[in-house]
Amino acid sequence: MPHRPMSREQQWLLPPSLDEVVPADHPARFVAEFIDALDRDSWADMGIDLDGDPLGAPAYHPRALLSVWVYGFMTGVRSSRKLEAACREQLPYLWLTGCQTPDHITLWRFYAAHRAGMRHLFTRTVRTAMAMQLVDLAVQAVDGTKVGANVAGARTYDAAGLRRLLGRVERAIDELEAQHAAGDGPAAARLPAALADRRRLQAQVRAAVDTLQAPAAPKQINLTDPDARLMKTRRGLRPAYNAQAMVAPVERRGDGSGRLITAVAVVDAPGDAAQLEPMLAHAEAATGGPADLTLADAGYHSGAALAACARRGQRVAMPEAQARALQQPYHKDRFTYDAASDSYRCPAGQRLRFTRRKRTRGVPMRLYRVSGAVCRACPAFGICTTDGRHGRGLEIGPHEAVLRRHRAWMATREAQHAYQQRQHLVEPVFGIIKAQLRARRFLLRGLANVKAEWALLATAFNLRTLWRLWRAPPTKPDRWDAAMTTAGAPA
């Protein structure tokens, strides 16, 4: 087979334009269309001045800089230095910027100044999907994933560790100050670098000690990122954040399907239990209405969460962590409540009467008991209870009724069938964000900054979903322009 002629010195009479070499269905074009559809109010919401300053040297247009960041997040490029290189070398970036090449400092300053406001873009992706009727809100699923903090785990200390570190630093400072004072030459205008470093560390450690002494403070703190917490991850106990996402299926007949993130949050607590109601509220605000059914894993289960869902009128399919205990013949649920006498009847027909109020892990409880003598005489003694002195006790919390109702519903085939969708709906989203968008750890530090980073990652994920549908041949007249333009209106 003959070789094709090839020359690197080829001169073009009519050189191809960038517009010709970027395919019509390229994701960069979708990003540009999405950014170009932003109205003045949207730019103002993000705190970006679209008109620029009449004085001084011309600055890069915010549309170019925002497009670069959004397209970078979509393709797993989140570092300003890598984006600078991409703007010089990669055709989609050159097309997005109109062949301009902002350096990493310009890119970073733009991102640092506006990253919190960029959350507006996330809401806009959700509203674009709603305007295109891609999400019907029949079902949604919530979950959390641990995303590593951008710190070394070795810099995490408890109170005792901080005291030991402080002692070492203060001894080092004393030695350096003694050497500094014993020097023969004239006093230097600045402290030696080693001494300045130790003093900085001393101030950092003292601030960390104060933080750990505050009420409800964590048991450990990381000196590099004091907001990060030690959390159980697949790689062991690491400083991390708990990143939450609510996900709804996206379906367009004949044009493909996918998933859309409808709400995001990042918290510094490892547990998910308190996150269900805020996530429901965020999703409702973004989509403009509640979903018919929400799926959540056992980590979100609590009486308070179920009561909040009941107040909001939202159905939730969510198993309990202690599901095996429910099978026991003398589980609390086998005791029936009699409102007239405010007492419970046990499986053996004995009455447990209200004894007193108490608090268990801060939750107010009502304690019901039957006498020890009655239980000792019962054939179930040793199985139902081993407390022969006080007899069986039942601790009833404020959400007992809603817990029992939910347990009964979760036992139905309908609830179990619905719950099976959860894993396939939400977990692939975290897989894509971590593997394809390369976000196994945050690049920024501090809770406020990682919140902005997570929101932009969710924006990038949603744009990938929307782009796949945008480029697919439509089965009916396309309304993308109108959807992207009207997405700025309140839902």
Nearest distance from C-beta of residue 380 to ligand SF4, angstroms: 4
Residue 127 binds ligand SF4, judged by CB under 6 A: no
Rounded Cα gap, residues 263 and 248, in angstroms: 10
User: Between 330 and 337, whose beta carbon lies closer to ligand SF4?
Assistant: 330
Least distance CB 352 / ligand SF4 (angstroms): 7
Size of interface with ligand SF4, in residues (CB under 6 A): 15
With beta carbons less than 8 A apart as the criterion, state whether 309 and 277 touch.
Answer: yes
Q: Which of 142, 307, 378, 450 binds ligand SF4 (CB under 6 A)?
A: 378
For 210, phi then psi, to 5°, come to: -60, -40
Of 111, 213, 159, 177, nearest in space to 455 by CA: 111
Beta carbon of residue 347, minimum distance to ligand SF4 (angstroms, whole number) = 5
459 binds ligand SF4 (CB under 6 A): no
From the CB of 361, what's the least distance to ligand SF4, in Å?
24
The C-alpha atoms of residue 222 and residue 215 are separated, in whole angstroms, by 18
Question: How crowded is residue 24: how many other Cβ atoms within 10 Å of its Cβ?
Answer: 7
Assess 114 for contact with ligand SF4 (CB under 6 A): no
DSSP string, 455-469: HHHHHHHHHHHHHHH
> Per-residue DSSP letters for 324-339?
GGGGSTT-GGGSEEET
417 CB contacts (<8 Å, ≥6 apart)?
Answer: none
Report in angstroms how near the CB of residue 325 gets to ligand SF4 at its nearest.
15
Taking CB under 6 A as the criterion, which residues in 391-410 touch ligand SF4?
391-392
Mode of pairing for the β-strands spanning 293-295 and 139-148: parallel
Q: Per CB under 6 A, which region of 26-34, 88-96, 301-309, 380-388 contacts ligand SF4?
A: 380-388
Q: Which of 380, 432, 472, 491 binds ligand SF4 (CB under 6 A)?
A: 380
201 makes contact with ligand SF4 (CB under 6 A) = no
Q: For 139-150, b where at least 16 C-beta lie within 10 A, e where not — what string?
A: bbbbbbbbbbbb
Select 60 or 381, whichever has its Cβ closest to ligand SF4. 381
Characterise 216 by phi-psi region: left (phi > 0), alpha (psi -120 to 50), beta (else).
Answer: left
Residues 290-349 that bind ligand SF4 (CB under 6 A): 330, 346-348
Which of 114, 111, 40 is CA-nearest to residue 81? 111
Distance CA 448, CA 274 (A): 19
Q: Which is nearer to ligand SF4, 348 or 447 (CB)?
A: 348
| Shortest Cβ 375–ligand SF4 spacing (Å) | 3
| Exposure of 177 in the CB half-sphere (CA atoms within 13 A) | 8
Nearer to ligand SF4, 228 or 378 (CB): 378
User: Which of 326, 374, 472, 491 lies at the binding interface for ligand SF4 (CB under 6 A)?
Assistant: 374
Contact between 241 and 271 under an 8 Å Cβ cutoff? The reply is no
Instruction: Out of 384, 429, 460, 466, name the contact with ligand SF4 by CB under 6 A.
Output: 384
Residue 30 sits in the site that holds ligand SF4 (CB under 6 A)? no
367 binds ligand SF4 per the rule CB under 6 A = no
Nearer to ligand SF4, 30 or 344 (CB): 344
Span from 87-95, 221-229, 384-392, 398-406 in contact with ligand SF4 (CB under 6 A): 384-392
Binding site for ligand SF4 (CB under 6 A): 330, 346-348, 350, 370, 374-375, 378, 380-381, 384-385, 391-392
